[in-house]
Amino acid sequence: MVSDKFRRQLYQEADLWQAEGLINTDLYEQLSERYQFNALDTSAHNSFVTILMGLGSILIGLGVIIFVAANWQELPREGKVTLLLSLFMGVNITGFYLGNRAKGAQQRLGHGLLLLGALILGANMGLMGQMFHISGPLYELLLAWGVGVLAMAYSLRLTSLGVLSIILIGLGYWGFWWEFAQQSWLTSSAIEEFSWASLMGQHMPLLAGLMFVPLAYWCRSGAIFGLAAIAVVSSLEANLQPFSFRLFDLFSFQPTGWVLAIAFALPPALLWGYDDGGLAKIPHQRHQPALVSLWRGSFPKIARALALLYLSVLFYLSSFLWLWEFLSNLPTADPSTSLNWFPVLDALILSGLAVFEWLRLAWQARNPRTRRNLNLTTIVIAVFICIAALVPFWHISVAPISLLATFIFNVLLFLLAAGLMREGLAQGKRSAFWNGMVLLTLRILSWFLLSATGLVFKSLIFILCGVGAIAIGLWFEGHIRTLKTTRRSQSFTP
């Protein structure tokens, strides 16, 4: 759908072209009929009315809120409940009607009211708990609120509600993790103190995938899928963190390396191996829509971009010697501690899923029709992941190799940066080229900033890096123009 801004600019340009004699009256009429120049004034009028309605609604809502707050204590409990439920239902019913029956600005207003209804849901839950003396920590309210918004997102098929649900559940999870991760999770008392919030926190990696990934397909939203992948990876790393630094082997009572190896290698393996080709073949039913109606192949690209981002951050942090010396000096755990192994189950299940994904890629490599899916880049990433898992395992469980580990990850970092730059040059992708350049420049600058050199020398390095970035950027832009010209000439060659 063409935006009103483009139509307005085209209308101005078409008037200018007709005045200069570049187009005749017939062509101008065709453009006017195709892009509906006559409806631009009506569209502007509707936008202005929508803004006025939105501003007026906000002011009326603030007035009602202030009036209710001034008389809140005098209202009986039944009146408070009736008022809260009426406000919630009225806003959502109006938003649902405008969002499904209206078009244009009114439809956007309806979606805005539905988002407002999701916010009112949290306020109602908090006030209801206060009225009925239901106490609990803030993270439980956020988790329950997020689950309610998630149900609204599935039923209404709105990306905005899906994003809001991920944010709310994420805030609730991190609140839970901050309060209990280093206390209850590591001990068996967490099982005795069972609650739905603790269960969600311990199994958030699996729950995030089950809750948000189907929603991304249902809403056809790359934003929801990207946030869902980040939620899975971040919660997995957070759940493994206490075990990575405090878990001990039952026989030697030393910090184990296999959990740390999983924390290093599982996220990129899970993201890079993700493929929805099999799901995309499910037919779309008219009255029973499938959860996979989307652009084919768009979500695996997002997953692989996040895998490259994770590897970049991992290689950069692991290229410093202090990290490996810190891992070498981990304190031994108390052998009498009884650990809660529930959070590790998610990592094992996701590890099995990652192994299945890569076995599927290997099977596709034997099929001539899908052999392109296992290219040289995938093989290199697989080698990177294996090395990222082997080095921390050897460093923790076999023998400390701080210097060798630092050297290995520096080499991996430069190889990854070079590969991104090569991909950008070959395909003309600015993002890949500049990501590689930023990664390489950041590591070089870190060396000089942490070295015992003078400020004059460091300032010279910054100046040289700035001049080099400008020169390389100008050369790369010229290379892209040359590459596009070459491709264009080849496409017109018979």
Cα(140)–Cα(104) distance, rounded to whole angstroms?
38
Enumerate the β-bridge partners of residue 255: 248
Which candidate, 426, 425, 423, 439, places its Cα nearest to that of 472?
425
Residue carrying the six token digits 């590689």? 436
How many residues are present in the chain? 494
The mean per-residue pLDDT over the stretch 294-318 comes to 83
Q: What are the residue ranges of helices labelled H in 132-257?
A: 138-156, 159-180, 189-192, 196-202, 204-219, 222-246
Name which of 227, 226, 224, 231 is nearest 208 in CA terms: 231
Q: How does DSSP assign 316-377, residue by residue?
A: HHHTSHHHHHHHHTPPPPPTT-----HHHHHHHHHHHHHHHHHHHHHHHHHSTTTGGGS-HH
pLDDT, tens digit (0-9, with 9 covering 90-100), for 116-136 = 888 888 878 877 777 777 777
Determine contact, residues 417/436, Cβ cutoff 8 Å: yes
Whether the Cβ atoms of residue 2 and residue 35 lie closer than 8 Å to each other: yes
Is 83 in contact with 69 (CB distance < 8 Å)? Answer: no
Percent of the chain, pLDDT > 90? 21
**How many other β-carbons are positioned within 10 Å of the β-carbon of residue 257?**
22
Q: What is the pLDDT of residue 267?
A: 94
Give 193's pLDDT tier (boundaries 50, 70, 90): low
pLDDT at residue 278 tops 60: no
More confident: 6 or 391: 391
pTM of the complete model beyond 0.85: no
Predicted confidence at residue 22, as pLDDT, reads 77
Tokens at residue 395, please? 């460093």
Using the predicted structure, report yes or no on whether residue 176 has a pLDDT greater than 80: yes
pLDDT score, position 114: 85
CA 435, 439, 441, 442 torsion: positive or negative? positive
Q: Is 287 exposed, middle or buried (0-12, 13-18, 19+ CB in 10 A)?
A: exposed
Residue 107 CA to residue 93 CA, distance in Å, equals 13
Mean pLDDT is highest, among 4-13, 64-73, 146-155, for: 146-155
Phi, psi of 248 (to 5 degrees): -125, 155
